[in-house]
């Protein structure tokens, strides 16, 4: 993996330029330079960098591609898109999204009352808002308030109970109104087609959402009976996120298209739009053999447009407007999590670490000879000898014949021999060698929390591209596992022989090494957990000025320790007093020491939970 699979997942957003990975935009700064700039301002620990130009790129590509498909088929309906807020509600993201989407009549989708409030405040009047998910009377009332503000809002019925509430709220809001105004109505349909993959549960007959055909007919009658049929204008479906395969989408489109045309012919004259939900997949893979998506955006758009046209023509109805709620596709690429490596765990396995004695046990002498004389032609044989000697030496230790130093020398020599033989035999790639790679893998302790920043890795084993920010002109040699700093063994991205990650062999006591986790912009932030009380990392928005130079803006530091506790409803005044009291009342320390301790304590309380200093780097006063 020479370029860390950049050509597979990178979408030309980044380039490797000599040693570093750079933004492929404007002055093409390196991620390393941006990271160092922010760290010089005093922000240490993991950093989440947001790039609004990448949000803009996704939005304009989505619109351009659908316009292209429409042109190709001479499609008469229009194309619209909304961003589903559940994918990323963070203000620095949403502000950027609204800024860069100006001119596209781009709207927001809300799935809860809090999201609806964001949508009502942020969507430009006239741009679409769609409201999905389970709703109570208050949420439906908010939709009516939004409509009365002038918003172009569609409330999607997810069940018949909800429709009853809409009818009731409509009466309350409009019966006495001079100018009755209500939201447009959509219905989510329960398709028998479902998506595939880990997020496929949103579609199919057993899905949580949507109306069956029987319920749909009932809803139609209820709308008609309550003179609301003129408000029914959208058919909605969503078959699951990260649809890697295009085939289920085509099936769903045929099914939804036929439902749309049937309802229209039945008398739902206001019906004019089909909302295909989200699901457009992102390529997260770093390896050609494990790619996650089997289609391009153009194929996706062509299929949607062509199938809707074909069904409409066949049934003799006008072609509907097309809405998408793609979220992952819009947001994933916009952010990169950068985290410093704190330690390499088998760094002690070097020749320097050997504690050879004047007289060593014969098997250790032999291991040392094997290590010094290993060559390509004898590598396999010497490797087998070394593994055999190791077994014998460990037995000798268990029986008390050799000591801890001998055992340590055994570990180091065998590790060095394995490393050297893998390097010498690298073209052979046998199973035995692959297994041995697991044994010598290097564990990189990285200053981040997988639970907080990559929850889909923790919960669903979703892969995210990993690239070091530096040394990219050197071939990485260490099969690598990544450990986060939580006290939980699930916080590990283990070395996977099928999808191997190699990182550089570095001496962290003398140099810095940063790992970039890419495509983290969708879902990860709000799903992130505060396991061990590691919170959302420090974030910054990186934009570019007229000269193409980057500007670091809207820096928000990770919460400090007291704020984290306050979020958990601790009374921080009481905690503050308790800590102070315990220092002041301690009988074991002098007055001067107490003053010093209090000073230090208040400094630490003002910082965040991520690690700051470690090992030798701390000596040269560098934070991590």
Using the rule CB under 6 A, is 152 a contact of ligand PLP? no
Using the rule CB under 6 A, is 442 a contact of ligand PLP? no
Which of 101, 152, 241, 453 is the binder for ligand PLP (CB under 6 A)? 241
Segment 579 to 618, residues that bind ligand PLP, using CB under 6 A: none
Using the rule CB under 6 A, is 65 a contact of ligand PLP? no
* Closer residue to ligand PLP, CB minimum distance, 32 or 59: 59
DSSP string covering 320-376: PEEEE---HHHHGGGEEEEEEEEEETTTT-SGGG----SS--HHHHHHHHHHHH--T
Using the rule CB under 6 A, is 327 a contact of ligand PLP? yes
**Other Cβ atoms closer than 10 A to 208:** 10
* Closer residue to ligand PLP, CB minimum distance, 325 or 406: 325
* Closer residue to ligand PLP, CB minimum distance, 278 or 479: 278
The structure tokens listed for 382 are 């010497």
CA 621 to chain centre: 32
How near is the Cβ of 223 to ligand PLP at its closest, in Å?
A: 21
Select the span of 15-23, 325-333, 534-542, 595-603 touching ligand PLP (CB under 6 A).
325-333
Which of 132, 333, 335, 453 is the binder for ligand PLP (CB under 6 A)? 132
Which of 537, 522, 516, 524 is CA-nearest to residue 22?
A: 516
Select the span of 238-246, 491-499, 500-508, 542-550 touching ligand PLP (CB under 6 A).
238-246
* Closer residue to ligand PLP, CB minimum distance, 57 or 389: 57
Select the span of 142-150, 271-279, 583-591, 600-608 touching ligand PLP (CB under 6 A).
271-279
CA distances from 553 to 41, 450, 518, 539 (A): 12, 25, 20, 9
Using the rule CB under 6 A, is 280 a contact of ligand PLP? yes
* Closer residue to ligand PLP, CB minimum distance, 297 or 501: 297
Report helix, strand and coil shares of the chain as percent, to nearest 5: 45, 15, 40
Q: How many residues bind ligand PLP (CB under 6 A)?
A: 16
Using the rule CB under 6 A, is 521 a contact of ligand PLP? no
- Residues in CB range of 369: below 8 A, 6 or more apart: none
Using the rule CB under 6 A, is 328 a contact of ligand PLP? yes
CB 19 within 8 A of CB 504: no
Q: Shortest Cβ contact with ligand PLP: which residue? A: 278
Select the span of 41-49, 134-142, 214-222, 236-244 touching ligand PLP (CB under 6 A).
236-244
The structure tokens listed for 248 are 């289920």
Select the span of 46-54, 141-149, 213-221, 276-284 touching ligand PLP (CB under 6 A).
276-284
Which of 531, 527, 536 is CA-nearest to residue 199?
A: 527
Half-sphere exposure of 101 (CA within 13 A, CB side): 27
**Other Cβ atoms closer than 10 A to 339:** 26
Secondary structure of 571-598 in HEC code, one letter for each residue: CHHHHHHHHHHHHHHCCCCCHHHHHHHH
CB 503 within 8 A of CB 444: yes
* Closer residue to ligand PLP, CB minimum distance, 301 or 390: 301
* Closer residue to ligand PLP, CB minimum distance, 13 or 241: 241
Which of 13, 326, 441, 447 is the binder for ligand PLP (CB under 6 A)? 326
How near is the Cβ of 243 to ligand PLP at its closest, in Å?
A: 7
What sign has the CA pseudo-torsion 200, 203, 207, 210?
positive
How near is the Cβ of 54 to ligand PLP at its closest, in Å?
A: 16
Which of 45, 77, 203, 278 is the binder for ligand PLP (CB under 6 A)? 278
CB 81 within 8 A of CB 105: no
How near is the Cβ of 68 to ligand PLP at its closest, in Å?
A: 20
Which of 84, 107, 244, 476 is the binder for ligand PLP (CB under 6 A)? 84
Select the span of 177-185, 319-327, 447-455, 477-485 touching ligand PLP (CB under 6 A).
319-327
- CA 115, CA 94: separation in Å to the nearest integer? 11
Using the rule CB under 6 A, is 279 a contact of ligand PLP? yes
- Residues in CB range of 553: below 8 A, 6 or more apart: 540, 541, 542, 543
* Closer residue to ligand PLP, CB minimum distance, 301 or 386: 301
Which of 407, 394, 502, 522 is CA-nearest to residue 454?
A: 522
* Closer residue to ligand PLP, CB minimum distance, 65 or 326: 326
Using the rule CB under 6 A, is 135 a contact of ligand PLP? no
* Closer residue to ligand PLP, CB minimum distance, 241 or 535: 241
DSSP string covering 332-344: GGGEEEEEEEEEE
Helices 113-122 and 91-100, axial angle in degrees (round to 10): 40
Per-residue mark of binding to ligand PLP, 166-205 (x: CB under 6 A): ------------------------------------x---
At residue 107, φ and ψ (nearest 5 deg) are: -120, -170
Select the span of 190-198, 221-229, 235-243, 564-572 touching ligand PLP (CB under 6 A).
235-243
Interacting residues toward ligand PLP by CB under 6 A: 84, 87, 132, 202, 238, 241-242, 277-280, 325-329
């Amino acid at each position: 993996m020479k370029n860390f699979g950049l050509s597979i997942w990178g979408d030309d957003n980044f380039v490797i330029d000599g040693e570093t990975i750079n933004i492929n935009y404007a002055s093409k700064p390196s991620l390393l330079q941006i990271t160092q700039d922010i760290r010089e301002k005093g922000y240490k620990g993991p950093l989440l960098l947001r790039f609004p130009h990448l949000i803009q790129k996704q939005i304009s590509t989505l619109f351009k591609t659908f316009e292209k498909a429409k042109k190709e088929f001479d499609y008469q309906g229009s194309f619209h898109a909304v961003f589903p807020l559940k994918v990323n509600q963070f203000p620095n993201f949403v502000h950027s999204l609204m800024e860069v989407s100006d001119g596209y009549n781009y709207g927001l989708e809300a799935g809860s009352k809090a999201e609806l409030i964001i949508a009502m405040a942020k969507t430009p009047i006239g741009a679409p808002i769609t409201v999905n998910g389970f709703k109570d009377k208050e949420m439906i009332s908010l939709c009516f308030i939004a409509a009365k503000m002038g918003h172009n809002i569609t409330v999607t019925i997810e069940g018949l109970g909800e429709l009853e509430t809409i009818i009731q709220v409509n009466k309350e809001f409009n019966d006495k109104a001079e100018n009755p105004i209500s939201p447009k109505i959509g219905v989510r349909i329960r398709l028998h087609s479902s998506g595939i993959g880990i997020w496929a549960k949103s579609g199919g007959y057993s899905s949580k959402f949507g109306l069956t055909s029987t319920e749909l007919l009932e809803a139609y009658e209820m709308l008609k009976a309550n003179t609301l049929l003129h408000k029914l204008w959208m058919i909605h479906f969503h078959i699951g996120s990260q649809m890697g395969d295009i085939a289920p989408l085509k099936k769903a489109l045929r099914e939804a298209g036929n439902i749309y045309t049937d309802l229209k012919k039945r008398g739902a004259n206001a019906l004019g739009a089909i909302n295909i939900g989200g699901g457009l997949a992102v390529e997260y893979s770093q390896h050609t053999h494990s790619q996650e998506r089997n289609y391009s955006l153009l194929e996706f758009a062509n299929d949607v447009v062509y199938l809707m046209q074909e069904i409409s023509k066949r049934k003799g109805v006008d072609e509907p407007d097309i809405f998408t709620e793609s979220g992952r596709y819009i947001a994933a690429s916009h952010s990169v999590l950068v985290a410093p490596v704190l330690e390499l765990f088998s760094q002690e396995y070097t020749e320097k670490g050997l504690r050879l004695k004047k007289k060593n046990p014969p098997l250790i002498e032999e291991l040392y000879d094997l290590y010094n004389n290993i060559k390509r032609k004898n590598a396999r044989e010497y490797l087998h000898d070394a593994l055999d000697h190791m077994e014998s030496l460990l037995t000798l230790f268990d029986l008390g014949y050799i000591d801890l130093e001998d055992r340590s020398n055994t570990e180091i020599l065998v590790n060095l021999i394995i490393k050297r033989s893998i390097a010498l035999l690298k073209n052979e790639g046998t199973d035995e060698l692959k297994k041995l790679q697991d044994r010598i893998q290097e564990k990189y302790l990285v200053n981040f929390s997988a639970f907080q920043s990559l929850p889909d890795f923790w919960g669903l084993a979703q892969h995210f591209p990993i690239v070091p920010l530096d040394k990219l002109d050197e071939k990485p040699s260490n099969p690598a596992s990544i450990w986060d700093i939580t006290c939980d063994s699930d916080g590990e991205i283990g070395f996977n022989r099928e999808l191997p990650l190699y990182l550089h062999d570095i001496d962290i006591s003398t140099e810095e090494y940063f790992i970039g986790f890419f495509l983290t912009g969708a879902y990860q932030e709000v799903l992130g957990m505060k396991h061990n009380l590691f919170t959302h990392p420090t974030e910054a928005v990186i934009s570019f000025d007229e000269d193409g130079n980057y500007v670091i803006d809207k820096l928000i530091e990770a919460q400090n320790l007291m704020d984290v506790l306050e979020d958990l409803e601790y009374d921080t005044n009481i905690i503050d007093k308790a800590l102070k009291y315990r220092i002041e009342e301690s009988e074991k320390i002098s007055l001067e020491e107490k003053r010093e301790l209090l000073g230090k304590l208040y400094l630490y309380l003002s910082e965040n939970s991520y690690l700051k200093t470690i090992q030798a780097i701390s000596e040269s006063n560098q934070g991590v």
